[in-house]
Structure 1
Amino acid sequence: MPHFQGLRAVQSQKTPRLIKSHLHYHVLPPALFKSKCKKIYVMRNPKDVFVSGLMLTKYLKLAAPDKSPEEFLETWLQDEEYATPWWRHVRDFWLHRDDPTILWLTYEHMVKDLPEAIRQIASHLDVKVTEKDVATLTEHCSFSNMKQNPSTNASWIGENSYVDKQFGGHIRKGRVGNWKEHLSEAAGNTIDAMVEDKLGDLDIQFDYGH
């Protein structure tokens, strides 16, 4: 990935910096959570996360194009896929959601009411925005715009021969409930059982797009 610079890109940024990460809470630097640095955590329901991961893995040719959701689910639940275990990622940040430097958002809320999410983010970052600003940002951050924006769509990945474009791209559909087009009832029930087993003691409400 010629455009991926990792920590070098972070170190070259000037303050204020924006850093995106998929890392689990327990592997992030402890100093991050002792600092006044503002953090924003975005959670998505596990079934759409699963399908998104499956499609991205096939797009990057890290999985065979004919690998079934059931086969991928087996390795996903065994913590052998990217950013797994998903449940620990969510659990650890949920337990710290009341930290004043952390803003907890859900992907589904952002899809349904992006203007309100923008206001929440602005408030968390102590940035004043007008309603005109909110309207401008809502249009700029719409899924259709982000899918076309080279700054967000990682189109440089598609310029390399190792991707399989039949599986979309870095930004694919972004819909809530797209999992219904890919998961069998049995696979969906397996994910439900995992959620109950690993997160059932927490008061987390998931929006599956029903």
Structure 2
Amino acid sequence: MRGSFLIVMEVTNNYIKFEGVRVPYGVHTVESLNYAWKEFETRDDDVFNVTYPKSGTTWLQEILSLIYSNGDPTPVKTTFSWDRVPWLEQHSGRKQLENRPSPRLITTHVPFHMFPQTFFKTKAKVIYTIRNPKDVCVSLYYFSKIAQFMEYREDFQDFVALFLSEDIIFGRWFEHVKGWLTVKDNPNVLILSYEDMLKDPKANVIKICQFLGKELNDAAIDSVVEHSSFQAMKTNPMSNYSAVPNEYFDKEKGTFHRKGIAGDHKNHFTPDQEVEFEKIYKDCMKDFNISFD
């Protein structure tokens, strides 16, 4: 029920459940999740960067930062991404956002049913990015290897089973995406495709600018594209998470920015896994017409 919340502590794996959704404990608390859902006061000029994990979150943080600096790369080279576009539901959310001047750029992974209740009373905007779930699964697999707060399954087949279960962080991809697609026709919601952004980043930056009512000249748009490229972000210590302590990210096991491509699942899924995944996908998404190049 929307007016209540369920809390289940899983001490062994350092997770909590909130409204049926499993999230890492410590990074999140019951108080911070409840703040994001019920207490956060949305402003008319807030811009939300909403994603399922490993679907282009940091990329959009960079793009939004650069759009709002009119293409000036100084902010993305001097301020950490999580300070430029803070996380709504994390324990630092209230402190980061309460007194922040407008317009606020805000990042979140929360599913639709846990999104701030005040949003629909405002003119605030949401950008929701969708990525091929098989690539999301692969990216999450490698992320869980370095993220100390995540459950890791060394065998990829076991991880695919976890990804398809309700125990995966922030809930199943299918429910997360379907929840946000229910408001795709809302004029204050923009749905982006990770794959389309890879194919034509400039066109998508222009699309985002138009959605936000931001008029940037050609030089500024080119600067946004250049400084939000995968290579630029991978070598930028303000964006590549290299400054995160090893107690959170074991950087000996990998890097936050790995490939930044589409189709990497073809290097990991067996033919049988592809068939099984596609069957589940078609069943879960039969009422939603989306495809991935």
Q: TM-score, normalised by structure 2?
A: 0.65
Select the structure that is richer in helix.
Answer: 1
> Do residues 70 (structure 1) and 157 (structure 2) align?
yes
Query: Could you tell me which of 162, 165, 168 is aligned with 1:81?
Result: 168
> Do residues 200 (structure 1) and 268 (structure 2) align?
no
Residues 122-175 of structure 1 show CA distances to partners (whole Å, capped at 9, x for unaligned) of 001100011111111110111111112233222222x32453335432222111
Alpha-carbon distance in structure 1 between the residues aligned to 2:242 and 2:142: 16
CA RMSD of aligned residues (A): 2.0
Shift of 1:196: 0.7
> Do residues 149 (structure 1) and 236 (structure 2) align?
yes
Shift of 1:95: 1.7
Moved more, 197-206 or 98-107: 197-206
3-state SS of the aligned residue for 1:192? Answer: helix
3-state SS of the aligned residue for 1:20? Answer: strand
3-state SS of the aligned residue for 2:98? Answer: helix
Aligned length: 205
> Do residues 188 (structure 1) and 274 (structure 2) align?
yes
Shift of 1:76: 1.6
State how 1:58-207 maps to structure 2 within 5 Å.
Answer: 58-61=145-148, 62-64=150-152, 67-157=154-244, 159-161=245-247, 163-165=249-251, 167-207=253-293
Letter in 2 for 1:168: G
Q: TM-score, normalised by structure 1?
A: 0.89
Alpha-carbon distance in structure 2 between the residues aligned to 1:113 and 1:122: 15
Runs of at least 4 residues of structure 1 off by over 6 A? 1-4
Alpha-carbon distance in structure 2 between the residues aligned to 1:33 and 1:17: 16
Corresponding position of 2:110: 23
Residues 168-206 of structure 1 show CA distances to partners (whole Å, capped at 9, x for unaligned) of 322221110111122222222222122111111211112
Letter in 2 for 1:39: V
Alpha-carbon distance in structure 2 between the residues aligned to 1:149 and 1:131: 24
Letter in 2 for 1:41: Y
Q: What is the aligned-residue identity percentage?
A: 32
Structure 1 unaligned runs (5+)?
Answer: none
3-state SS of the aligned residue for 1:40? Answer: strand
3-state SS of the aligned residue for 1:172? Answer: coil
Shift of 1:47: 0.5
Alpha-carbon distance in structure 2 between the residues aligned to 1:72 and 1:85: 13
Moved more, 178-187 or 116-125: 178-187
